[in-house]
Chains A and B, each alone.
Chain A
Amino acid sequence: MIQHNPFSPAMIDAVRQTLENMVFMEIIEQRGTPSEIPAEELAWSSLLIKAPVQGELRLAVPTELLKKITGNVFGIDEEEVTTTQAYDILNELLNTIGGLFMTKLLSQEQEYKIGLPNLEAGELPPTDENTVVWHLINSDEEPLKMYAAGESLVALSKNSDQ
């Protein structure tokens, strides 16, 4: 039995802390019908959770928002943002969120292992009963989405968030 803290608050805190510290962006959970990100405007990255549970985290943002974030971080115009810079930001954001999430989720004594962030292409995988989605927005109401997927990872949400 893995000792852990509530699942959703751990994720929300991790995303909030990461975005505020790294890109000075405040986010809140979106209420009501969630905004969708059209496939042609989607940028997303994935990160494997390897131990003590197995699963995958995904961070999805509109490409325009990613450009804006990247421009702010590097101090350049959005038009000057390269694909490499933008994708590196996305991966590093997810990497930091993933580590913070696991730290906040698990008890202090519990070791964990995560993989390296991986930029993905195409549509996001379909969600199922073993997927948790957080629909988030920034102060300009631009959407960001976090996903946690995988039976043993998501099982931790089912005995803590209900």
Chain B
Amino acid sequence: MKRIIIADDSATARMFIKRCLQIIGFGDADIIEAEDGKQALEAAKEEATDLLLTDLNMPVMDGETLVKWVKASPKLCEMPVIVITSAGNPAKEAQLLELGAHRVINKPVSPPVMMDALADFLD
């Protein structure tokens, strides 16, 4: 079973992402919800995780800082990170990819976009 962490301060956004995952065939995944980057980081350290999906604008620890921490950790640095954001543009996307994010997708997220983004990581 795949273990996927969704980090977003909005319960609505987490629900939409979960729904997209279910639609594209990850209904049986172990999905861990985190309300901010700090919670997501703690959840990732607890158990091996196949994928981290994170928002950018979050309180406590934002998505950019989360990506930095994940990529700086020898234990977590191989974990794919996809940033799902409403505050993305090509300049920001390039910056996040340089930090180590594997993909950046813009809200509102839809199942086809999610499927495309996940295709490389969750065969």
Contact = CB atoms under 8 A, between A and B. Distances in A.
Interface of A: 17-18, 21-22, 73-74, 84-85, 88-89, 91-92, 95-96, 98-100, 102-103, 106, 108-116
B7 to A, nearest CB: 14
B108 A18 contact: yes
5 contacts: A98-B86, A98-B87, A99-B106, A108-B89, A108-B91
Nearest to A117: B10
A22 B89 contact: no
B107 A99 contact: yes
B12 A109 contact: no
Contact of A113 (B9, B11, B12, B87): B87
B10 A92 contact: yes
8 shortest interchain CB distances as A-B pairs: A99-B86, A21-B108, A92-B12, A92-B10, A96-B107, A111-B91, A96-B86, A108-B90
B11 A88 contact: yes
B68 interface: no
Contact of A74 (B9, B15, B87, B90): B15
B85 interface: yes
Contacts, number: 68
Given A73-B15, A88-B11, A98-B86, A116 B108 contact: no
Contacts of B86: 95-96, 98-100, 114
Contact of A95 (B57, B59, B92): B57
Contacts of B57: 95, 114-116
B110 interface: yes
B19 to A, nearest CB: 9
